[in-house]
Amino acid sequence: MPTSDIPASGRIAAGGSFHRRRRVLADRAAAFLIAGGGISVVLAILLIFIFVGREALPLARGSQLGNTVTLTAPDAPSLLTGTDPFQDLAWSLDSLGGLHVADRARAAATRLDFPLDSLERLSAVALEGGVRADRFALGTSTGRLLLARINVSRVLDEGAAHSTAELEILEPALPVDSLALPAGAARVEQLTLGRGDSYSLLAWTAGGRLQLALEERESESWMRLAAPAELEGLQPVDLAASPTGERLALANAAGELLVLEISPDGARLLERRPTGLAGRVTSLAFLIGGNRLVAGDERGGLASLVEVQGETGVHWISGESLTGHTAAITRLLPGPRDRSLVSLDAAGHGILHYVTTGRTLLEAELGATTASFGPRGDALVLAGPGLLQAVELANPHPEVSWRALFGRLQYESYEGRQSVWQSTGGGDDFEPKFSLLPLIFGTLKGTFFALLISVPLALLGAIYISQFAPTWLARSIKPAIEIMAALPSVIIGFLAGLVFAPYLELHFTALLAFVVLLPLLILAMVPVWARIPGHRLGPKGLPQLAQGLVLSLLALGLAYGLAPWLDSVVFGGNLIVWLQEKAGVVYDQRNSLVVGFALGFAVIPIIFTMAEDALSNVPDALVSASLALGASRWTTVARVVLPGAAAGVFAAIMIGLGRAIGETMIVLMATGNTPVMDISPLNGFRAMSACIAVEIPEAPMGSTLYRLLFLTALLLFLFTFVINSAASWIGERLRKSHGRIS
Amino acid sequence: MSARTPHPVKGRSGSRDSVPVMVTGLGLVLILLMLLLVLWLILSRGLAAFWPQRLERFELKDGTVLLGEIWERLETPEGGRLRLRVGNRELTGQDIILLDQSEIAAITRPRDAVLVERNENGVFLGWLDGLSGPGVEIQGDSPRLRRQLDLAVERVGELDEQLLREQERARRLSLKRGRWEEELERRQASPAGVAALQEKLDASALRLSGLERSLDSLRAAANLWTLRLNTADGSQSDLPLLQVVRWVPTNELGMLGRLRLYGRRFWGFLTEDPRESNTAGGIWPAMFGTVLMVLLMSLAAAPLGVMTAVYLHDYARQGLVVRLIRLSVNNLAGVPSIVFGIFGLGFFIYFTGGTLDAAFFPERLPEPTFGTGGILWASLTLALLTLPVVVVATLEGLGAVSRTTRMAALALGATRWQMIRQVVLPNAMPGILTGLILAVSRAAGEVAPLMITGVVKLAPSLALDGDAPFLHLDRKFMHLGFHIYDLGFQSPNVEAAKPMLFGTALLLIGIVLLLNLTAILLRNHLRKRYKQAAF
């Protein structure tokens, strides 16, 4: 453009160029911004994947030992060691009764002494419940028993916290004279202490004989308890009391394990069985909850037992196998918070197990002869001659293992190995059960019944609308289907749960009768219609629609008419009662059939719309060719249109499947949400989506449950991602191939 | 997605073909029957929810006498049963009972029985027997009692309103005092202005105690009124008039009276706060929360969705990026809503909210401000969820703007952005609006992701109110869909909640269907234009 020689236009051009620059700038900025907006969708889906995955990922990380703090250590061998919740202090007890307390902040140690006689030595120690290192029982070589407590108080001054410890000794007022032992044989050999809400149990052996004492906690009075007669002459090599003192386990030299039930009424033998270990038992421990027991032997073998509820009552069976050691087991340390266990061997090697799953969480050379968990389970204190260390322990998700999530495990009190989802329960010593299988099963079950109902109806309807319906009908059906798609799932769910479920319970027979009668009626009508002259398929399929309506109403009426008769004559009054009595099938009000109808109702419009689209987009050329070759209309539809649209129809079903898998409110409201694995259509289930919705508000951030629910969400995401990607890939290919034909 | 209208296959056909075609028709029939059934259920029971039922007096064979409304007739294998609302929860413990029809000896409809709607313990059914208040002492049911009762209810209602106003004043004053006290604490270091603040505080303390005194006297004045009623079993009950919302001589009302009462109840349902753990009163906060959430969501979803669609349609070259975006949009549409919810919890609430809290509200920690569910996070989560709806509809709208129109704009020297802003977007507006409406409709009915990102069964205050800064994005809110779930599945008294439940469901469906019909009409308009533009 010649601009420079004409001043006037030059001005315009100058202004123009300014404008142009602004325009170009604006154009570039807009392009940049819009591209950013476009890419942000990709980012959004990536972000969802990454963030949901990021929260689930720590489940895969194992347990780790962290910082080690070395404290001033005593020279004497350690009988017992412990620490406070903050690892400010660590203590170690030697056999002379000296309690060495090391202070981390002051790098100093103090020594507290138990008042022992000159020749008296500590011969046995026991932590309360096997877990609490600040409350323990001591037995001496002269037959004295002491209960002791280390009271730790933490003070905050000027921002720095430190703790002080103080020793409190309680000598139980035991009727010692009733021990009636030969002189010189009073030495306490093994000792264990359990403490429940109303009773404490103290059990020890002296001269190879089992002694039991029970304290009533309210009155603080001790009484002796006689050992059962079956135990006469048994030489226990080790003892362990359950944390609450309701069970006592014994191992004898003959390689047997005995479990007693202890109550104020007496001790009763519950179980007597071989340990299954090759060597002599050197250590026994109950885990919290008192329903699991682990034994270690002199060859390094470990055996775990679990209490189950059998038909004949309580008994003990083998649990998951645990990784063994190569040297004799010296200590078994149950975790204070969960079913973790540290086993120590004579060579100083330590293994951290999770007993429920049998998973080995961690192996390390600890070099200690005694050790103990920190009260919160987040530290280990290690002690040995010249050694006192506090080691951080990261053990956030011990419950999780491949087998726990996707396999079967022997849980406490359960009969046989099962896959169970039970994330929370009463009490701190509840054993969490984190199998995802019941949830995945529930999701698949719900989806199956939904598709069972929606696929036939939606496909039949789509074939009719796309191939046989007059145009005006097809046009007016579409908004109806769209309205169906727009119905909020919370409304469908509430109708299913509160209206349909109770209704179905009353009219279950009628529904079954309808399902059976409808196809029978159709079959019965075939010969009748064949005789009606002029009954032909006209250009418009309206008569057929009317027949369908009449037939379904007829079947409905017949079903309702027959139901009371069926109930009273065939099923002896009530089908549901009959099913339960004759077939043992339990009928839940909110069952899988109800979900199938509700979820199917929600999925029908999706499958219908997409299938209808695929069917009407089969190229006209194919249809015309078939008709020109003399095929009838139905033959054309069955042989040409349906195969031609098969991929699209398949994609429609896939999209419906994806929707059914992820649907939350309907499964939440229309099932009882019990995580059972049972294929019966007459009981409920718990789906993954509903489980997330119900449990995530209660799950503390960062807990195993929280992360597992994110893992569940990740699985749902991946399921639907694969399904949707496949469906859209099919759709794209279909468009291309149809494009080629027409 | 082509919009080809299907047309029937024409050709030779035999009578044998008729049966399979009928079977396909049967599928359609069953689908439509299910849809009609659902719509009919919601419509009939939703509309009937506020209809004043007649009060019936039941004499049972064992001599018991009951007064109640028949809510439902059940046919069970064991015989007919009636679900009755007998009210008077504080006396009987159960306001809804099941009664075997075989137990009933006689049913009568007493003309003079009344229904009293209350703030607490549900309704009271019985007969008027007396009224006492300042200067009024009436025994027995009489026209005079009824006249006086109307006056008294009105008078106590006024007192109640006054009471609420004063309470609100007291609340605001103490809110202000809280801020002043905080400021005072901050200023302790530098004494400037401390005296003035202290003075303000002292003065407001005086005002507050004055307010509290007037509240007490109002309460006392309102409490002077009591209404005495007889119950069906002959016992008497005194109700403080302050609890009475309205009294209705249901059996004396004609059609017009019942219609008027229906209207009043429906209006109350729309505009009042819920009472008695949501089983009575209205759903105003839930409606308000839904609308506000949907508005916030649109603010986020609309620009992003339109940008994505414009990028796909007008900027991006066919290739990997476009396929990637299409794949993402398709997948975003298919990801289960609960996954969006848990993502919102992990990303928006814990990550973003936690970061915001640490940066801007450290003084309130560990009490979270944005690190917990709230209307902002719920809206953003739903914006992500409804994004594909906006994108797909906008794409269709953009497709309706013909190539020639674009060419014309470019030929006149417009840049691409000018063309889009001044020609394409205005013409694609119906498509964008369709998408937005559909997104709003989806969001109004979505519950699962909201349950974990900020919806509660009862929010203490609205997210938009007169307290600075007016819009409280961190507040939890109520939502119609969640209200349905909560009433039907977490309410202690599901039967008593059913009228509210069906009413709410009808309202929600009404909103969703209205939005969808609008969208359908808009889109049809768009498609018509598309056809014209194709010329």
Q: Are strands A98-103 and A89-93 parallel, antiparallel or unpaired?
A: antiparallel
C-alpha to C-alpha distance for B213 and B219, rounded to whole angstroms: 10
CATH H superfamily, domain A439-741: MetI-like (1.10.3720.10)
Enumerate the residues of chain B whose CB falls inside 8 A of the CB of residue A652.
none
- Are B106 and B146 part of one and the same domain? no
Q: Is residue B19, in this structure, part of any structural domain at all?
A: no
Query: Taking residues B304-328, what's their average pLDDT?
Result: 88
C-alpha to C-alpha distance for B226 and B133, rounded to whole angstroms: 7
Contact A426/A320 with Cβ under 8 angstroms? Answer: no
Instruction: Count CB-CB contacts under 10 A for residue A21.
Output: 10
Nearest-CB residue to B343 (from A52, A459, A465): A52
* B47 CA: distance to closest CA in chain A (Å): 16
Q: Chain B within 8 Å of A544 (Cβ-Cβ)?
A: yes
- Are B346 and B430 part of one and the same domain? yes
C-alpha to C-alpha distance for A32 and A29, rounded to whole angstroms: 5
pLDDT-wise least confident of A522-526, B5-9, B116-120, B325-329: B5-9
Q: Is residue B17, in this structure, part of any structural domain at all?
A: no
Residue A172: predicted pLDDT: 63
Q: Do A612 and B7 touch (CB under 8 A)?
A: no
C-alpha to C-alpha distance for A588 and A595, rounded to whole angstroms: 12
Q: Is residue B273, in this structure, part of any structural domain at all?
A: no
Q: Chain A within 8 Å of B346 (Cβ-Cβ)?
A: yes
* Mean pLDDT taken over chain B: 86
Question: Which residue in chain A is spatially nearest to B332 when comparing CA positions?
Answer: A45
Q: Do B330 and A728 touch (CB under 8 A)?
A: yes
Q: Chain A within 8 Å of B98 (Cβ-Cβ)?
A: no
- Interface ipTM above 0.90: no
What are the residue boundaries of the structural domains of chain A, listed by start?
65-112+367-396, 439-741
Question: Which residue in chain B is spatially nearest to A541 when comparing CA positions?
Answer: B21
Task: Report how many Cβ contacts below 8 Å link chain A to chain B.
Answer: 386
Report the CATH number that the domain containing residue B476 is assigned in CATH.
Answer: 1.10.3720.10
Q: Do A632 and B441 touch (CB under 8 A)?
A: no
* B467 CA: distance to closest CA in chain A (Å): 29
Q: Do B22 and A522 touch (CB under 8 A)?
A: yes
- Are B311 and B438 part of one and the same domain? yes
C-alpha A727: how far from chain center: 31
Residue B320 CB partners (closer than 8 Å, separation 6+): none
- Are B359 and B435 part of one and the same domain? yes
Q: What is the 3-state secondary structure (H, E, C) of A526-594?
A: HHHHHHCCCCCCCCCCHHHHHHHHHHHHHHHHHHHHHHHHHHHHHCCCCHHHHHHHHHCCCCCCCCHHH
C-alpha to C-alpha distance for A500 and B456, rounded to whole angstroms: 27
Question: Which residue in chain B is spatially nearest to A556 when comparing CA positions?
Answer: B30
- Are B337 and B459 part of one and the same domain? yes
- Are B112 and B190 part of one and the same domain? no
Q: Chain B within 8 Å of A630 (Cβ-Cβ)?
A: yes
Q: Is residue B385, in this structure, part of any structural domain at all?
A: yes
Residue A229 CB partners (closer than 8 Å, separation 6+): none
C-alpha to C-alpha distance for A221 and A227, rounded to whole angstroms: 19
Q: Chain A within 8 Å of B342 (Cβ-Cβ)?
A: yes
- Are B344 and B407 part of one and the same domain? yes
Nearest-CB residue to B513 (from A26, A48, A486): A486
* A707 CA: distance to closest CA in chain B (Å): 10
- Are B214 and B343 part of one and the same domain? no
DSSP notation for B466-519:
SSTTSB-TTS-B--HHHHHHHHHHT-S-HHHHHHHHHHHHHHHHHHHHHHHHHH
Enumerate the residues of chain B whose CB falls inside 8 A of the CB of residue A487.
38, 445, 509, 512
Phi, psi of B64 (to 5 degrees): -70, 145
Residue B491: predicted pLDDT: 83
- Nearest C-alpha neighbor of A590 from the set A532, A504, A695: A504
Is A418 in a helix, a strand, or coil? Answer: strand
Q: Do B19 and A498 touch (CB under 8 A)?
A: no
Instruction: Count CB-CB contacts under 10 A for residue B382.
Output: 30
Enumerate the residues of chain A whose CB falls inside 8 A of the CB of residue B493.
none
Q: Do B18 and A536 touch (CB under 8 A)?
A: yes
Is B59 in a helix, a strand, or coil? Answer: strand
Q: Do A491 and B445 touch (CB under 8 A)?
A: yes
Residue A676: predicted pLDDT: 86
> What is the span of the domain harbouring residue B114?
56-118
Q: Do A467 and B9 touch (CB under 8 A)?
A: yes
pLDDT tens per residue, range B166-202 = 888 888 888 888 888 877 777 766 666 777 778 888 8
Contact A627/B9 with Cβ under 8 angstroms? Answer: yes
- Are B155 and B302 part of one and the same domain? no
Nearest-CB residue to A23 (from B35, B326, B418): B418
pLDDT tens per residue, range B333-343 = 889 999 999 99
Enumerate the residues of chain B whose CB falls inside 8 A of the CB of residue A480.
32, 35
Two tokens, residue A482? 């769209």
Contact A411/A392 with Cβ under 8 angstroms? Answer: no
Size (chain A), residues: 742
- Are B298 and B424 part of one and the same domain? yes
Q: Determine the residue among B310, B320, B339, B456 to mutate to test chain A binding: the one whose Cβ has the most chain A Cβ atoms within 10 Å.
A: B339
Nearest-CB residue to A488 (from B307, B347, B508): B508
Query: Taking residues B35-49, what's their average pLDDT?
Result: 92
> What is the domain count for chain B?
3
Q: Do B332 and A44 touch (CB under 8 A)?
A: yes
- Are B516 and B370 part of one and the same domain? yes
Q: Is residue B518, in this structure, part of any structural domain at all?
A: yes
Q: Chain A within 8 Å of B528 (Cβ-Cβ)?
A: no
Q: Chain A within 8 Å of B371 (Cβ-Cβ)?
A: no
- Are B341 and B381 part of one and the same domain? yes
Residue A532: predicted pLDDT: 65
Q: Do A713 and B338 touch (CB under 8 A)?
A: yes
Q: Is residue B494, in this structure, part of any structural domain at all?
A: yes
pTM of the model: 0.89
Q: Do B338 and A689 touch (CB under 8 A)?
A: yes
Q: Do B10 and A633 touch (CB under 8 A)?
A: yes
Enumerate the residues of chain A whose CB falls inside 8 A of the CB of residue B488.
494, 497-498, 669
The end-to-end CA distance of chain B, in Å, is 20
Q: Is residue B235, in this structure, part of any structural domain at all?
A: no
Enumerate the residues of chain B whose CB falls inside 8 A of the CB of residue A488.
444-447, 481, 508-509, 512
- Nearest C-alpha neighbor of A196 from the set A139, A241, A142, A161: A241
Q: Chain B within 8 Å of A328 (Cβ-Cβ)?
A: no
- With a cut of 70, list the residues of chain A below it in pLDDT: 1-16, 158-159, 171-185, 530-540, 739-742
